Amino acid sequence: MDAHAPTLFACLHEAARRHGGRTALVCEETRLDYATLFARAGRLAGGLRERGIARGDRVLVQMPNGVAFVEILLACLWIEAVPVLVMPNQRTRDVEALCRIAEPVACFVPGRTPSLDYPDLAARTRDAQPSLRHVIVDGEAGTSIALRDIDGAPPEPPSCAPDDVALLLISGGTTGIPKLIPRTHGDYAYNIQAMAAASGLAADSVYLAVIPVAHNFALGCPGILGTLAQGGTVVLSESAGCDEAMPVIAREGVTHVALVPPLAKMWVDARDCEDSDLSSLRVVQVGGSRLAPDLAGQIEPRLGGRLQQVFGMAEGLLCLTRLDDDPDTILGTQGRPLSPDDVVRVVDADGRDVARGERGELWTRGPYTIRGYFRAEEHNRQAFTPDGFYRTGDLVRWHGDNLVVDGRVKEQVHRGGEKLSVVEIEDALRSLDGIDAAKVVAVPDDVLGERACAFLIGASGNLDEVVLRSRLAALGLSREKIPDQFEWLSSWPLTAVGKIDTQQLVPVAQKRDR
Ligand code: OOB
């Protein structure tokens, strides 16, 4: 990274200086202007430093969408401590595993909520994790430290370098132990600024965060940090439900919002009865998992605002449709890389480039993509090539200048001798009357190696399997692509950020007697 590139902290600090009196944050009844937000973050930074938290120390942050999240993040950057951003509903097992790798000296948690006693959990983690000296609670603290009691004179702004690690993100994978992703000041500053430009976000924009801001999408694509670096207004909502979020869009004149596909579906369906004025919306970003073309087509008519598909990963690479792309590109592709310096290869199982337009695994290297996970040498040898490409595990193909994502390499069903694309089967299923949503997973099978199990959601009740098979055949789906098993659900199991959690579906399919 160029030594003169701006750092993440400098981008944000400069925006605060330029836009002091403008509204930076809105959360329920709280409204903070830039000057007040930075004054509060500075005092928190001073208090943390007085407690001995120093440059390079890792600090676990497991906070919901709220003002405290932003203040804590800014305070950490201020004293050059490295926040480890954990999703509020990330499982305890994950958090403990992350602690063993990151060895944080402090952790920030909310007060007790109806669903989880965060302070109690954090205190127990502290007992098991010798590095963890401070448990800081935004609420009733008990034996821990209350966030409101941390206060000190604001330190001098830091003089960090672009290559310094600014924050650690958590990998999105749902298998195994999550990995820590070191994002630097320089790469993340580029990330938020280039994404702000590509999504038309400027000082007069209002960004609504409904998915967890600990996730790269709502944090920096352009997310809350991209908005703050532009002098725009961030509106934080802890709930993504239409009844709460849509009136907020109307009240605050929200221009930008980011959704994951299951949430986009909920919002589109809600418009049958939810009639808040959404006419302020300019851009609706959807990403995180595959957006089916039929749902993509309903975003603009039902929510207003331009659809922008975002195919991204916490490891770096961001692909996105541009606001002035033609409708076929916006509805049918996941866009093209953010930076002209992103290098994308589409390769076969032996790592050879496939012909343009053929499907293969995406490998990438570029100015804001990591070259290795934090403290994971062994895993890094598999996840990165010797010349620095990140093996994403995503199956993609070029469609003109844009990429189409066809699922994950490991999600293909290896049935008998064939490799089946789950996306093709899901699209066929969803086109049938009575099926609202479909997810096909590969299930280990004694006879076939793997079989295809289709999980289905339909408002009008379960359809008979024989009928389903004949309808799929009538669509022209070849025999081996017709799922071996069908299971009906009333709702999806979701990951911490709200994607469908396929890992939870496999055991359900396995349990069923066949
Ligand atoms: C985002 O980041 P992660 O790290 O939670 O997950 C990354 C993975 C990708 O490798 C891909 O498998 C999947 O999520 N994914 C998509 C997708 N966007 C992400 N699959 C299909 N279509 C898409 N549009 O999920 C993320 C980070 C930044 C911006 C947006 C999403």
- List, run by run, the mean pLDDT of 10-residue segments along the chain (514 residues): 79 96 98 98 98 98 98 98 94 90 98 92 92 97 95 96 97 77 98 98 98 98 98 96 97 98 96 96 97 96 97 98 98 98 97 97 98 96 97 97 94 90 93 94 94 92 90 94 96 92 93 70
Cα separation, 280 vs 297, in Å, equals 19
pLDDT for position 494: 93
CA torsion, ordered 60, 62, 68, 72, to nearest 10 deg: 20
pLDDT for position 3: 60
* Domain 412-512 grouped into CATH 3.40.190.10: no
pLDDT for position 94: 87
154 Cα: distance to centroid of ligand 1 (angstroms): 37
Q: Is 106 close to ligand 1, i.e. is its CB under 6 Å away?
A: no
CB atoms within 10 A of CB 183: 26
Nearest CA to ligand 1 atom 30: 312
pLDDT for position 405: 96
CATH topology of domain 8-182: Rossmann fold (3.40.50)
Q: Is 311 close to ligand 1, i.e. is its CB under 6 Å away?
A: yes
Tokens of 417: 């001798």
pTM as predicted: 0.95
513 Cα: distance to centroid of ligand 1 (angstroms): 34
pLDDT digits (tens, 9 = 90+) for 332-364: 999 999 999 999 999 999 999 999 999 999 999
Q: Is 218 close to ligand 1, i.e. is its CB under 6 Å away?
A: no
CATH 3.40.50.12780 residue window(s) in the chain: 239-410
CATH 3.40.50.980 residue window(s) in the chain: 8-182
Nearest CA to ligand 1 atom 2: 313
Q: Which phi and psi angles does 296 have, rounded to 5°?
A: -55, -40
**Strand order in 402-408's β-sheet?**
343-347, 360-365, 390-399, 402-408
Q: What is the CATH number of domain 239-410?
A: 3.40.50.12780
250 Cα: distance to centroid of ligand 1 (angstroms): 28
CA torsion, ordered 474, 475, 476, 482, to nearest 10 deg: -90
Q: Is 394 close to ligand 1, i.e. is its CB under 6 Å away?
A: yes
